[in-house]
Amino acid sequence: MKIAYLISHDISKNDGVTKKISAQVSAWEQMGNTVALYAFVPHDTECLLNANNFVMKGAFKHRFLLNRELSDSIREFNPDILYVRNFV
């Protein structure tokens, strides 16, 4: 199964949330799934996880709804499941 995992978290920090995301991706992959991580990050920086990074622009954090590059990338991956985490 192909899983697109969409997050809004600063994965340049080695915190508990980043570790949880990494563990979740590893668990899915160990079960034979293909996982693509799509991360909305606050700034363009090197991240600890292998992800397709999209920098959040503007005050409206939920710009992913309007992000054509993101939607095109997910559409190209063609996932069976879109898992969205931590959009508060």
Domains of the chain: 2-85 (3.40.50)
pTM for the model stands at 0.78
Encode pLDDT of 43-74 as tens digits.
566 665 666 666 666 655 555 555 778 888 89
Long-range Cβ contact pairs of 84-88 (< 8 A, separation 24 or more): 84/6, 84/7, 85/5, 85/6, 85/7, 85/9, 85/21, 86/7, 86/8, 86/9, 86/17, 87/6, 87/8, 87/61, 87/62, 88/8
Measured distance CA(86)–CA(7) in Å, rounded: 6
pLDDT at 14 over 80: yes
Band (pLDDT 50/70/90 cuts) for residue 38 is confident
Which is higher by pLDDT, 79 or 59?
79
